[in-house]
Amino acid sequence: MAEFTTGTLEEGGDALVVGVGSDRAWDEGAAWVVERLGGRLSGYFDAADFSGKPGQSIKVPGGNEVPYDLVVFVGFGDTPDDEAVRMAAGTAGLATSRSATVVTTLHTASADGAAAVAMGLLLGQYRFDAHRSKPKPSLTETVRLVGANEADMDAAGRAVVIADAVALVRDLVNTPAVDKSPETLAGVAMDIGEHTGVRVVVHDLEACREAGFGGLLGVNAGADAPARMVELWYEPEQADAFVAFVGKGIVFDSGGLSIKPAAGMETMKTDMSGAAAVFGAVQAIATLGLPVKVLGVAPLTENLTGGSATKPGDVLKIRNGKTIEVLNTDAEGRLVLADGLSLAVEYEPDLVIDIATLTGACVVALGEKIAGVLGTGDAPDRVADAAGVAGERIWVLPMPDDYRKLIESDVADMKNIGGRYGGTMTAALLLEEFVGDVPWAHIDIAGPARSGEVDGYIVKGATGFGVRTLVAIAESMTSS
């Protein structure tokens, strides 16, 4: 991972990244280059139709006039905010991944620009090369933020910690299901524990039985690999508050006996993105040393079709004693989350948040780039506010009381599917049965957990969505 430093434009380097507002409004670095490269630039800009709009970038050879081999101009539009700078830094990161020393003035464009550049650049350079015969890792060793002060460098350092966690989540989600059994992922949690001091408790299959995790075991019944329930505990000496995060950890979702069509399964290794986001958030919060007690819970299993698989019509008993009739084995996320939430609220946190690739309906409602959030009291608004600070896109959906009847069962306390419509809300209404009196929010990341395209700091495949919001929630609960 690249190091961030401060310095001057004149010191030089391999690549210089400068920002351009709409209609070629130069930032400090761009003005400095334009002054030195002068005439030839406008030709390049005209040929590439480059005006400084968000998403635009152009690479120019430095030549003899500036001490850089490569100059990258990136657009960030009118009045850039931190997110515009993060996106521009992501684009620039990709363009400079072969350069050892990258120098930039991009951070001068927005309020928290140094952190935004660190986050955007590192995430834009992310690649998942574990299964390529010719890996092409980023060669960037040093990123110099021109003129940055101590506060800027401190903010950048914190962003690096979070970017590191996002990269971990992307790696875990991109990993093929065959390489991430529940046992393997529990091992990842233990590794996190080892290098951060977080205490990790792993419930193996036998312990899951004893604990009465009937939802998790019901989903696990069709799989050979045994389930795990993982608890990560970050308990700082001084804590202003206590938050619990619960992440859906379906390492592969075939749908179970209510099997998915082939196309619907292609990306279902992504179905543990919630659990991965919880791992990443706990790692980042512990590394940052935030004064908030955090419990991370991850129910981990595959959803497969083995001879002992749960069948439509079966009834499962969840940890808190409530029963669920399984009418569709593909609505499995809520079953494992029911146990995870039941467990988390037993510890009486001030707030519990679950995060899950839960419903295709949420993608229909909000598209692929925006997560949904639902819950009780002001918890959803608090999550939405934290997401806004973090630069993740989340929208609050309602919890209509009268929709509760859509999940009434003829034989059990509830059934695991609602009607044809409003699937994100009926899923959330089921989850609400497992949170007791603890203020709760549920984040549905079925859309934004992965991306089909490169866009700024978002790369193809896993996005690591949710880590930044969860960390921001913990930050919002500190009294300082």
Instruction: Point out the residues that are catalytic.
Output: 260, 334
Q: Are 308 and 240 in contact (CB under 8 A)?
A: no
82 touching Mn ion, by CB under 5 A: no
d(CA 313, CA 324): 10
Residue 236: CB partners within 8 Å, gap ≥ 6?
A: 289, 290, 291, 292, 293
Closest separation in Å from C-beta 271 to Zn ion: 4
Nearest position to Zn ion, beta carbon? 253
Identity of the residue, 250 or 295, whose beta carbon is nearer to Mn ion in the bound complex: 250
444 touching Mn ion, by CB under 5 A: no
301 touching ligand BES, by CB under 6 A: no
Site for Zn ion in 295-354 (CB under 5 A): 333
Closest separation in Å from C-beta 187 to Zn ion: 22
What sign results for the dihedral spanned by CA atoms 304, 305, 311, 314?
A: negative
Site for Mn ion in 222-281 (CB under 5 A): 253
Q: Identify the CA nearest to 315 among candidates 392, 409, 445, 384.
A: 409
Maximum distance among all Cα pairs of the chain, rounded to whole angstroms: 79
Interface region with Mn ion, contact rule CB under 5 A, candidates 180-188, 194-202, 330-338, 463-471: 330-338
Partner interacting with residue 361 (select from Zn ion, Mn ion, ligand BES, none; CB below 5-8 Å by kind): ligand BES
Residue 233: CB partners within 8 Å, gap ≥ 6?
A: 198, 199, 200, 201, 294, 295, 296
Q: How many residues bind ligand BES, per CB under 6 A? A: 16
302 touching Mn ion, by CB under 5 A: no
* Per-position x/- string for 139-178, each x denoting binding to ligand BES as judged by CB under 6 A, each - no binding: ----------------------------------------
Interface region with ligand BES, contact rule CB under 6 A, candidates 48-56, 199-207, 351-359, 452-460: 351-359
SS3 annotation, 178-243: HHCCHHHHHHHHHHHHHHHCCEEEEECHHHHHHHCCHHHHHHHCCCCCCCEEEEEEECCCCCCCEE
d(CA 464, CA 78): 28
330 touching Mn ion, by CB under 5 A: yes
Closest separation in Å from C-beta 248 to Zn ion: 7
330 touching ligand BES, by CB under 6 A: yes
Q: Are 472 and 165 in contact (CB under 8 A)?
A: no
Binding residues vs Zn ion (CB under 5 A): 250, 253, 271, 333
